[in-house]
Amino acid sequence: MPGYYDLVADRYRLAGILGVGGVAEVRRAWDTVLRRPVAIKLLLSGCDEADRRRFDNEIHTLAGLSHPGLVSVYDAGTIGPMPFVVLQLVDGSTLRDRLAYGPLPVIMVCELGRSLSEALGHVHTHGVVHRDVKPSNILRDRDGTVYLADFGLARAAGTTRLTRSDQFVGTAAYLAPEQVRGGEITSAVDVYALGLVLLECLTGVREYDGSAIEAAVARLHRRPLVPDHLPFELRRLLTLMTSPHPRQRPSAYECARILQAIGRSEAVGPITTKARVRQHPWRSRTQALLAAALASLLVAAGSTDAAHDAAPPVSGELLVTQQPRGPRADPVESSDSLAKAHKGVHKNKGGKGKPNRGKGKHGW
């Protein structure tokens, strides 16, 4: 492994270490040809063939993508037998660093989520699934630009896991249920992970904690807890993003649209999901129960066509409807005023509301 100030590929002069992972380290460097700071990611010695494949996969995946919210690839090569990649230097901090200071205000989470959703939408449009969306892979520079990094686990959509049948790929705390079960990998797994990340930004607490197995299996037994004090539209979006059913989750671009509207306190309108979307006026719980009772009576009377028209949909598809005028109790069937969207109020353990206006490190 080259030391400080060594010249890599007769061009990049190494400096300090920016971060170290299980199989690679990232260092600050200076491009002596273009005279600009860069970051160099080097695979550590002792890595196996699977680690090399993932490293190469990250290089080729990022090289085929170009978006303001993704770290750019400048160059790649080898130092002896060990590969390296030259990346855009993001001089700032990770979201994981920022969350050590506590939760973020609602308005800031909406903007963060919008930026990440747009980057993911670009990735998904190119048929790629990131598979490892988590706070430590989200960077923010000193100018406020947010980047999604680390595509080592990225794969083409529609594939299953790479490893043995008793292993899963990704970070346990942010896996989608289908990843835990070893099901088909689609862009919906990134939307689920992003939903958990945004929820953690709002609460300051990781939703599924504990050991890798405990964190992974927990989501198969309970859904994430979305706080009631959040604006209705944000609660509804987070509920859909973290649905156990992939087809009920919105696309990344749809998430970006909604988060932008919430941040501006604009009307969100219907949310398009991967399921077949039906437009239908909101029904109250009483109306739904009456409709179901009427349907049962009609079925008993032999009028199956009328029963179908009277009964609310009970299939696996998601019923997407217009926002109700009055407040409801259920976050997916009710509406609150979006006036709280700019207050950034979070409840502490004692249950008292407390405004969180601090930006923390590097302006987060």
DSSP structure string for 94-135: EHHHHHTT----HHHHHHHHHHHHHHHHHHHHTTEE-----G
Contact between 226 and 207 under an 8 Å Cβ cutoff? The reply is no
Read off the pLDDT of each residue in 211-234 and give the average, rounded to a whole number.
92
Residue 59 has pLDDT above 70, yes or no: yes
Asked if 218 and 173 touch (Cβ cutoff 8 Å), the reply is: no
Q: Are 209 and 313 in contact (CB under 8 A)?
A: no
Residue of 110 and 300 predicted with greater confidence: 110
Give the closest residue to 363 by CA, choosing from 140, 134, 115. 140
**pLDDT reading at 1 higher than 90:** no
Say which range, 134-148, 175-189, 262-276, 350-364, has the weakest mean pLDDT: 350-364
Catalytic residue among 10, 31, 56, 132: 132
User: For 360, left (φ over 0), alpha (ψ -120 to 50), or beta?
Assistant: left
Percent of the chain at pLDDT exceeding 70: 70
- In this prediction, residue 169 carries a pLDDT of 60
In the predicted structure, residue 185 carries a pLDDT above the cut 70: yes
- Of residues 155 and 64, the one with the higher pLDDT is 64
The mean pLDDT value for 152-161 works out to 67
pLDDT attached to residue 4: 57
Tens of pLDDT, residue by residue over 296-306, are 443 444 433 33
pLDDT tens digits for 10-27? 999 999 999 888 788 999
Q: What's the rounded Cα separation, in Å, for the pair 37 and 18? A: 13
Q: Is 309 a catalytic residue?
A: no
Mean pLDDT, rounded, for 197-226? 93
First CA to last CA across the chain, in angstroms?
A: 34
Per-residue pLDDT, averaged over 300-317, amounts to 37
Q: What is the mean pLDDT of the chain?
A: 77
Are the C-beta atoms of 23 and 51 separated by less than 8 Å? yes
What distance in Å separates the CA atoms of residue 30 and residue 39, rounded to the nearest whole number? Answer: 8
158-162, 168-172, 193-197, 215-219: the lowest-pLDDT one: 158-162
Report field, pTM of the whole predicted structure over 0.85: no
Q: Which domains does the chain have, with CATH numbers?
A: 7-88 (3.30.200.20), 92-269+336-363 (1.10.510.10), 279-310 (no CATH)
